[in-house]
Amino acid sequence: AQSVTQLGSHVSVSEGALVLLRCNYSSSVPPYLFWYVQYPNQGLQLLLKYTSAATLVKGINGFEAEFKKSETSFHLTKPSAHMRDAAEYFCAVSVGSGGSNYKLTFGKGTLLTVNP
Amino acid sequence: EAEVAQSPRYKITEKSQAVAFWCDPISGHATLYWYRQILGQGPELLVQFQDESVVDDSQLPKDRFSAERLKGVDSTLKIQPAELGDSAMYLCASSLTARHPSRRGGELFFGEGSRLTVL
């Protein structure tokens, strides 16, 4: 079975500081990995996705994530935090690329707080 | 920009009452999903439709939950009777095709959700 674990339910950083949100996955087959962002009282928006084309994936809003098979990790980073980055971030995994019946399995989320 | 529309945004109900949520996906999107997001947790898939057919409802509590997408466009999720543990955000998402979410056309677009509080 596939799953993701997000380490740290709450991360607090100062504006301008590095953002690091951790995600580890468990999958018996090569996974597809995603990061989504959810602003208060809104739906989820895709930040970036890993599809095996490149281990370093760049997404929107200056975020990027690196797939490390040896560490089974897909951590999300941003060099310099902005106040507008304050939101909840979800890591998700899906396996398989065929058929029409697949699932995105989400982690529990990490709430990012950015302090002025 | 096209969006996934959901209503109501907020619903407060008493336990044992019936409640319904409506979702209108992005025009032309064949695949529709209902997710439940309990506070402090990630979204969990309840049901997936391909056009009007159910593809996956393995996590849908069928004794009290039902979902339909009669004409393959908009969809309704119903809970009857509601229980305290049903308090959550109900998210609808759609994708152009049933392709994998990593593939072109398979990306999920989420609505703003319907927040249910059961008293």
Residue A9 forms contact with B (CB below 8 Å): yes
Contact B42 A94 (CB under 8 A): no
CA distance A16 to chain B (A): 27
Residue in B with minimal Cα distance to A100: B98
Q: Could you identify the residue written with the tokens 């590095």?
A: A18
Contact B101 A104 (CB under 8 A): yes
Strands in chain A per DSSP E: 3-7, 10-14, 19-26, 31-38, 44-50, 56-58, 64-68, 73-78, 87-95, 105-106, 110-115
Among B46, B96, B100, B115, pick the best mutation site for testing chain A contact (most A Cβ within 10 A).
B100
Residue A104 forms contact with B (CB below 8 Å): yes
Structure tokens at A48: 């970036």
Q: pLDDT, tens digit, for every residue of A46-83?
A: 999 888 778 899 999 999 999 999 999 999 999 999 99
Q: pLDDT, tens digit, for every residue of B30-89?
A: 999 999 999 888 999 999 999 999 988 989 999 999 999 988 899 999 999 999 999 999
Q: Do the bridges between strand A87-95 and strand B44-50 make them parallel or antiparallel, or are there none, so unpaired?
A: unpaired
Residue B55 forms contact with A (CB below 8 Å): yes
CA distance A60 to chain B (A): 15
